[in-house]
Structure 1
């Protein structure tokens, strides 16, 4: 029998996040989360109303963090090429620094119920819309040369997943170095034309 001990809401969040990332939402029960925390399953309901609410909170925290990081990265930056570089870097860095949350966001959206699902989709759209807008403005000003700005944005947003697939914290490159490299790659994707 699992011993019931005090557990913080943050610990519940982290345990659920890691289990959802490794086993999937449907493959994880509240009992599984409780076992990781060495508490009884009923104890978890002192911190969260349901497994569905946990899934939403994990995604909501991740999206709010990503949107705030993007806003900070773009604050005061007027050059469109630099905006795209910084937006790409902050996107890739978020994926590398928060792999479990990103995995949950990428794979478990189908398991979110309404109105949670639409709330997360709206935040994802708000994020991607900013990337598309940068590319479209760059094209309009002749700084970028790409026939389909929206498709280019998909490729750039997917860079985080690509980096996450091979990155190892103890490897040859730091997360910051990888993010900087991908920022340069993003400019190539959009056909950046540096002013002479």
Structure 2
């Protein structure tokens, strides 16, 4: 974790970014406001000029991440009517979000248990809405006879987990770009559902 220079202005955004990276690296419970302040080069009390609490920081990180993912999914599906093309676009958008925002995704995947109400219900609702959009595509493809899979729900979970799989090995300086990996995984998603095209 690199420390921000004292010339860097401290704002709610810089506090959130520092918290995001620390939560991803050492966990929510393993990170104190003092840790976040140290990275930013300020005193811990100074942070409360920018954020109400560590819990609010955690919720804000997750809320931003979920809204971004939902917006990216909606954008990827805009104007796409063919069900196979929809699944390809949705799977690619999912994997790409994981690869381009690994710290936020890590926090969302590992720290939902650390959220208190009503924050927890809000984030679970957004996560479920995302999953329902993917599952709806798979179910439509099965209903139309384009996909052949015994359990659309399980297949949808597998597709949603593709992002975690790619994030585990992907390196930005590696052989493939994030977009290339996302497109390859989207091809695999069509195989998972037994696309007949």
TM-score range, shorter chain: over 0.9
The answer for the alignment partner of 1:54 in structure 2 is 57
The answer for the alignment partner of 2:101 in structure 1 is 98
Within the candidate set 1, 12, 16, 2:19 is matched to: 16
The answer for the alignment partner of 1:71 in structure 2 is 74
Query: Cα deviations across residues 116-144 of structure 1 (Å, max 9, x unaligned)?
Result: 00000000000000000000000000000
The answer for the alignment partner of 1:26 in structure 2 is 29
- Aligned ranges 1:1-196 → 2 under 5 Å: 6-194=9-197
Q: CA deviation at 1:64?
A: 0.2
Q: CA deviation at 1:11?
A: 0.5
Matched residue pairs, number? 192
Q: CA deviation at 1:8?
A: 1.3
TM-score when normalising by structure 2: 0.96
Cα distance change of structure 1 residues 177 and 6 upon mapping to structure 2, 3 Å threshold: closer
Measure, in 2, the Cα distance between the counterparts of 1:157 and 1:26.
27
Measure, in 2, the Cα distance between the counterparts of 1:7 and 1:174.
32
Give the CA RMSD over aligned residues: 1.2
Q: CA deviation at 1:6?
A: 4.6
Q: What 5-or-longer segments of structure 2 have no aligned partner?
A: 1-5
Q: What 5-or-longer segments of structure 1 have no aligned partner?
A: none
Measure, in 2, the Cα distance between the counterparts of 1:144 and 1:7.
51
Cα distance change of structure 1 residues 6 and 168 upon mapping to structure 2, 3 Å threshold: closer
Query: Cα deviations across residues 29-63 of structure 1 (Å, max 9, x unaligned)?
Result: 00000000001111100111000000000000000
Measure, in 2, the Cα distance between the counterparts of 1:128 and 1:76.
20
TM-score when normalising by structure 1: 0.96
